Every structure is written in C-alpha cells, then in structure tokens.
C-alpha cells in the first residue's frame, strides 16, 4: 500500500465515489445525495485515499461533549485486513476524546472488530428504525 491521505474535508468528496465504496465494502446502498446530507451534519468525518482513490471512510455524529455516535465505517475490499478500519475507528475515537460516551452498533457479526477497539455491549440500548420489521429480519433488534 502506498502512503494514505487522510482528510475530513467535505468539499473534495466525490459523493458518487463514496456511495460506490459502501456498495462494494459492502455496507449497503447509500445514495450520493443522502451521504452528502448526513456527512454534512456530522461533526467528525474521515476520508482515506490511496493514490487519490477513496479506500476508507467513516463519520461520527457528535454534539461537542456528551455523545459521539460512530457510523458508516467501511473499507474497500482491496484494503480490508490491513489495519485501515482499525485506524479509522481510532481516529474517530480520538476526535471524540473527552466525550461522556462514544456509541455505535455493529453489523451483526462485526462486533469482534469493535470489541478489539474497546467497545462493549450496552445492556439497555434500544432503537426505532424507519423499517422496524426489516431491522428485526437483519438481526439489529430483538423483541425482549
Ligand atoms: C469491518 C471493517 C470496517 C474492518 O476494517 P478492516 O480494515 O478490514 O479491519 P482491520 O484490518 O483494521 O482489523 C482490525 C482488527 O479487527 C479484526 N477484524 C476485522 N474485521 C473483523 C471481523 N469481521 N470479525 C472479527 N475481527 C475482525 C482484525 O483481525 C484486526 O485484528 P488485530 O488488530 O488483532 O490484527 C471492514 O472489513 C469493512 O468495511 N467491512 C464491510 C463494511 C462493514 O461491515 N463495516 C462495519 C459496519 S459495523
């Protein structure tokens, strides 16, 4: 891998390229305009490029002191397993230093990746998804 370029700048992001990164990772279909909006409202952002190509990204929705919610962390398959995902998490955690809590939820099966970064299960976390039935199907919710 050549040296990686790290940035949090929004104005240089190709939102179609970011959308493609999520499709390939895979982390689902995230339309470019949706990404522009949610990244634009995220206090912390992380874009990693290798030779100009976007190879990793992530963001944190944070309020400046109480809570920072890490999300949309993904690495292009060509760069997975090289420590890049870990570095993105570390960077977003470092940017959230001093917050009372840093929270996230994993894609089912990816919990060990976040466990290695020090995250632990929350016993009372709950969520209302736009599509609750689908969230149940995908293993994000349980009834109890
Ligand atoms: C999950 C993801 C971000 C991890 O990034 P990565 O660059 O491949 O992972 P890293 O190389 O930084 O791995 C860091 C550590 O986590 C471990 N790890 C990575 N993925 C893991 C997994 N799925 N399960 C268990 N451990 C995992 C690695 O073995 C490594 O351990 P080590 O530090 O002891 O060597 C990346 O694989 C990805 O983009 N996947 C598809 C999208 C996705 O699921 N994103 C997460 C949403 S919750």
Query: What is the pLDDT, as a whole number, of residue 1?
Result: 52
Q: Which token pair is 66?
A: 């109480």
Does the model's pTM come out above 0.85?
Answer: yes
pLDDT for 45-68, tens place per residue?
A: 999 999 999 999 999 999 999 999
What does 97-136 look like in DSSP terms, one character per residue?
A: TT-SEEE--PPTT-HHHHHHTT----SS-----TTHHHHH
Query: What is the pLDDT, as a whole number, of residue 78?
Result: 98
Q: Which token pair is 75?
A: 């690495």
Q: Which token pair is 125?
A: 């976390």
Query: What is the pLDDT, as a whole number, of residue 104?
Result: 98
Query: What is the pLDDT, as a whole number, of residue 59?
Result: 99
CA distance 88 to 43: 15
Check if the beta carbon of residue 110 is closer than 8 Å to that of residue 101: no
Q: How many helices (H) and strands (E) does the chain have?
A: 5, 5
Ordered structural domains, the chain, with CATH: 4-104 (3.40.630.30)
Mean predicted lDDT score pLDDT of the chain? 97
pLDDT for 62-117, tens place per residue?
A: 999 999 999 999 999 999 999 999 999 999 999 999 999 999 999 999 999 999 99
For residue 74, the ligand 1 atom closest to its alpha carbon is 39
pLDDT for 11-38, tens place per residue?
A: 999 999 999 999 999 999 999 999 999 9
Query: Which of 21, 27, 87, 110 for mutating ligand 1's site (highest number of atoms within 8 Å of CB)?
Result: 110
Q: Closest Cα to atom 34, ligand 1: which residue?
A: 116
Ligand 1 pocket residues where CB is under 6 Å = 25, 27, 73-75, 80-86, 106-107, 110, 112-113, 116
**Residues paired with 102 in a beta bridge:** 68
Give the Å distances, CA to CA, from 34 to 16, 51, 119. 11, 26, 28
Query: Which of 29, 70, 78, 85 for mutating ligand 1's site (highest number of atoms within 8 Å of CB)?
Result: 85
Query: What is the pLDDT, as a whole number, of residue 28?
Result: 96
Of 60, 66, 71, nearest in space to 95 by CA: 60
Query: What is the pLDDT, as a whole number, of residue 111?
Result: 98
């Amino acid at each position: 891998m050549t040296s990686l370029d790290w940035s949090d700048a929004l104005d240089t992001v190709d939102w179609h390229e970011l959308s493609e990164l999520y499709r390939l990772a895979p982390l689902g279909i995230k339309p470019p305009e949706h990404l522009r909006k949610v990244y634009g409202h995220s206090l912390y952002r992380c874009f990693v490029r290798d030779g100009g190509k976007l190879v990793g990204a992530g963001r944190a929705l944070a309020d400046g002191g109480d809570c920072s919610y890490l999300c949309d962390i993904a690495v292009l398959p060509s760069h997975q397993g090289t420590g890049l995902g870990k570095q993105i998490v570390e960077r977003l955690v470092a940017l959230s230093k001093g917050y009372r809590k840093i929270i996230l939820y994993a894609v089912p099966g990816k919990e060990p990746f976040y466990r290695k970064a020090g995250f632990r299960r929350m016993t009372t976390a709950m969520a209302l998804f736009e599509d609750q039935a689908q969230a149940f199907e995908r293993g994000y919710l349980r009834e109890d």
